[in-house]
Chains A and B, each alone.
Chain A
Amino acid sequence: MPFTLSYSNTIKTKNMELKTKIHAEDGKQEILITREFDLPVELLFKAYTESQFVEQWMGTKVLKLENKQHGGYLFETLNANGEIVFRANGCIHEFVPNQKIVRTFQMENTPFPVQIEYLEFERLTESSSKITIHTVYKSVDFRNQMLKLPFAQGLNMAHNRLQEIFTSKD
């Protein structure tokens, strides 16, 4: 049974089921992300394969997206000054419509090595579906650093906001 990181939350609010689950066992260089959607599997899959949708939910520009074996993709996000704040690319190894995508993912200009992602799309009912993303990292340390990234960014953002408040008072 996967451990969900909402553990201490479930003690407080036992009945509240969290939709997105992360299974991250200690000492392993992989994680499992699962999520169920109120969407037919075809639409869930489309969200991953059509640039206009990827751009909307990932919040990034899609410069390239070739949905086929030996294809690749390139995402880029610019800030208000036109500087690149996020750029990621990867190769597509397997592509089975409405079922499976196997791809690599690498963030450019960061110390993080390439990771491999196994995406599985599953039909639950006519109108619901599930995605399972199995990600394998280069090492346990890189996995843990990647998991901590949003936590660190959150701290930085809070810190910057504090700085803004203090500097604006001057």
Chain B
Amino acid sequence: MNLRRDVFQAIADPTRRSILMLVAAQSMTAGAIASNFDTARPTVSKHLQILTECELLRSEQNGREVIYHLNPNKMKEIADFIEPFRKMWDDRFNTLESVMKSYQDKISNEGSE
């Protein structure tokens, strides 16, 4: 694995995210994946190579075709890494929203009295 190709870099690209969505639904050959995009075939191949290098996809030779499978463990790893941090902020912001909403209700009630 090329260490410079990190998972975060891999999923920063919208086309690569779309590829992951496709393969998540069903394992596919390189040709079938490429047929979903207007991009040139070599470009799609390059994306597949990057996704494979960082282990988000696993490739399997099947005769003349290469089939791509999703590596769910790697996907989980990325999501879990920052998810608690995101959740912490989401909880805080939810509290902020409800605190300020009750303040808003309070001042609008006072204004109408």
Q: How many CB-defined contacts (below 8 Å) exist between A and B?
A: 118
Stretch at the interface among A73-81, A111-119, A149-157: A149-157
Would you call A151 and B95 a contact (CB within 8 A)? Answer: no
Stretch at the interface among B6-14, B35-43, B60-68: B6-14
Within 8 A of A (CB), among B1-54: 6-9, 11-12, 14, 17, 20-21, 24
Within 8 A of B (CB), among A35-51: 35, 37-40, 43-44, 46-47
Would you call B86 and A6 a contact (CB within 8 A)? Answer: yes
When A20-B89, A150-B87 are in contact, do A47 and B100 touch as well, CB less than 8 Å?
A: yes
Would you call B100 and A5 a contact (CB within 8 A)? Answer: no
When A1-B14, A25-B12 are in contact, do A147 and B95 touch as well, CB less than 8 Å?
A: no
| Distance in angstroms between the alpha carbons of A21 and B89 in the assembled complex | 9
Chain A residues positioned under 8 Å from B6 (CB to CB): 26-27
Chain B residues positioned under 8 Å from A163 (CB to CB): none
Identity of the chain B residue whose Cβ is nearest the Cβ of A50 in the assembled complex: B103
Chain B residues positioned under 8 Å from A35 (CB to CB): 89-90, 93
Query: Which of A3, A19, A39 is within 8 Å of B8, CB to CB?
Result: A3
Would you call A57 and B92 a contact (CB within 8 A)? Answer: yes
| Distance in angstroms between the alpha carbons of A25 and B8 in the assembled complex | 6
Chain A residues positioned under 8 Å from B97 (CB to CB): 37-39
Stretch at the interface among A7-15, A61-69, A86-94, A95-103: A7-15
| Distance in angstroms between the alpha carbons of A80 and B24 in the assembled complex | 48
Interface residues of A (CB under 8 A from B): 1, 3-9, 11, 18-22, 24-27, 33, 35, 37-40, 43-44, 46-47, 53, 56-59, 146-151, 153-154
| Shortest beta-carbon contacts, A-B, top 7 | A26-B8, A20-B90, A57-B96, A26-B6, A150-B84, A8-B79, A5-B82
5 example contacts (A-B, Cβ-Cβ < 8 A) are as follows A5-B81, A18-B86, A19-B93, A27-B6, A150-B88
Interface residues of B (CB under 8 A from A): 6-9, 11-12, 14, 17, 20-21, 24, 72, 75-76, 78-90, 92-97, 99-101, 103-104
